[in-house]
Amino acid sequence: MAITLQKLTKTYGRTLAVDGLDLEVRPGRVTGFLGPNGAGKSTTMRMVLGLDRPTSGRALVNGRPYADYQWPLREVGAVLEAKAAHPGRTGRNHLLAMARSNAIPAGRVDEVLGMVGLGDAAGKRFGTYSLGMGQRLGLAGALLGDPGVLILDEPVNGLDPDGVRWIRRLLRDLAAEGRTVFVSSHLLTEMQMTASHLVVIAKGRLLADAPMDDLLGGHGSLEDAYYELTESAA
């Protein structure tokens, strides 16, 4: 019950972005979050993180709404697509500010910089970072509070092949430590190698919530399984 969605619904004007999602994302495994463009993945993640208010229903982290936590970074770490660091700030200073806001010891900053391979770039301004370095910094921020829950929106975007392999291992290790890892991606081959459980949505509705092996059953690849699911929902 690390992430719980209860009839979670979001409308923007006439657009029904998320339509009554009921879901439990459990610890100890990487859960992939799939769906076509506009399916409602980012909106769902934003509501879990208190960045968007549900029109109805609830999104809970470890049984409570995100906004209830005094130190949310210790509960849940997130990397959303949009980069949120100031271009004039160094990577280290960005993380130090985040650490201060959640009463996390400053020493943890260099620890997470090392974990994501940004030790050497820590003193450089964020504005000079490549897309991949930005992803790594985002991940460092997510890991800062040593949270039990991680929410990552397209974390592979912009990473080179070494980076892709690195993040795949990292996510699997984090899950093996008993954390909840909820990750969206359009890269189905990559997802097949990383996740052991999948949630698929389309038009804001749940299409599947099942172990990878069950979804793959009878299909040659996740891509085949995914197309069969989403085409039948179109």
Ligand X SMILES: Nc1ncnc2c1ncn2[C@@H]1O[C@H](COP(=O)(O)OP(=O)(O)OP(=O)(O)O)[C@@H](O)[C@H]1O
For residue 234, give Cα distances in angstroms to 25, 29, 177, 228: 25, 29, 38, 10
Does the protein bind ligand X through residue 142 (CB under 6 A)? no
- Tokens representing residue 181 in the block: 């890892």
Q: Which is nearer to ligand X, 18 or 73 (CB)?
A: 18
If we measure between CA atoms, which residue out of 1, 40, 38 comes closest to residue 18?
Answer: 40
Q: Which pair of tokens denotes residue 215?
A: 């979804």
| Residue 39 interacts with ligand X (CB under 6 A): yes or no | yes
Which range binds ligand X by CB under 6 A, 32-40, 61-69, 121-129, 213-221? 32-40
Which member of 40, 138, 141, 163 binds ligand X (CB under 6 A)?
A: 40
Residue from 9, 42, 180, 185 in contact with ligand X (CB under 6 A): 42
Nearer to ligand X, 39 or 170 (CB): 39
- Helix (DSSP H) and strand (DSSP E) numbers for the chain: 8, 9
Only one of the segments 10-18, 65-73, 136-144, 168-176 lies at the binding site for ligand X (rule: CB under 6 A); that segment is 10-18
Q: Between 40 and 72, whose beta carbon lies closer to ligand X? A: 40
Q: Which is nearer to ligand X, 19 or 75 (CB)?
A: 19
Virtual torsion, Cα 178, 166, 115, 31, nearest 10 deg: -30
Of 66 and 121, nearer to ligand X (C-beta) is 66
Give one word for 63, left, alpha or beta, with left for phi > 0 and alpha for psi -120 to 50. Answer: left
Name the site residues for ligand X (rule: CB under 6 A): 12, 15, 17, 35, 37-43
